[in-house]
């Protein structure tokens, strides 16, 4: 993810208009929260997805660490919960794609408190997973 922020000359730049892509690093007014403009390079411009979750492909390393890795090690319930009440809810709350990350960050406080301080924590606890060794089952 950090490699995408370094201005490698050979990598070019991200196309202006793409989510979180800009010529300068700046926070600007969004619909109801801040929106971010980030000058990233064009290292991963070949990844193009036109869907409601396209912002997740901008920084694939973050998507891998935040969503795919937890699925692999068995935390599927928390991953689904995190996705639905994190980025998905943030996308529903604004029409500005550059604002989604900031809203998601704001919602994260509530997301974590709901999981830590309520009975939802017991629901999120996974006791078995098909990738775990048999002795844990």
Q: What is the CA radius of gyration of the chain?
A: 17
Q: 106 and 35 in contact (C-beta within 8 Å)?
A: no
3-class secondary-structure state, position 135: helix
Query: Model pTM?
Result: 0.75
- Tens place of pLDDT per residue across the chain (137 aa): 788 888 788 888 887 777 788 888 899 999 999 999 888 887 776 666 555 556 666 677 778 888 888 888 888 888 888 888 888 898 899 988 889 889 989 998 888 888 887 888 888 888 888 877 776 55
Q: Can you give the pLDDT at residue 28?
A: 92
Q: Can you give the pLDDT at residue 56?
A: 61
Q: Can you give the pLDDT at residue 13?
A: 83
C-alpha 68/C-alpha 72 separation (Å) is 6
Residue with tokens 């390079």: 41
Q: Can you give the pLDDT at residue 87?
A: 86
C-alpha 15/C-alpha 21 separation (Å) is 7
Q: Write the DSSP symbol of residue 124.
A: H
Nearest in space to 131 (alpha carbons), one of 75, 82, 67, 61: 75
Q: Can you give the pLDDT at residue 46?
A: 66
C-alpha 91/C-alpha 87 separation (Å) is 6
Q: Can you give the pLDDT at residue 48?
A: 60
Q: 47 and 15 in contact (C-beta within 8 Å)?
A: no
């Amino acid at each position: 993810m950090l490699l995408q922020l370094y201005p490698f000359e050979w990598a070019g730049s991200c196309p202006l208009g793409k989510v979180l892509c800009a010529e300068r690093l700046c926070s600007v007014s969004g619909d109801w929260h801040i929106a971010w403009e980030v000058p990233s390079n064009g290292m991963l411009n070949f990844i193009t997805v036109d869907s409601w979750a396209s912002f997740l492909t901008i920084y694939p390393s973050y998507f891998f660490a935040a969503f795919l890795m937890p699925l692999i090690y068995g935390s599927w319930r928390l991953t689904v919960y995190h996705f639905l009440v994190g980025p998905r809810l943030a996308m529903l709350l604004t029409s500005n794609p550059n604002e989604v990350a900031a809203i998601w960050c704001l919602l994260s406080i509530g997301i974590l408190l709901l999981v830590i301080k309520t009975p939802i924590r017991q629901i999120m606890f996974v006791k078995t997973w098909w990738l775990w060794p048999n002795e844990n089952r």
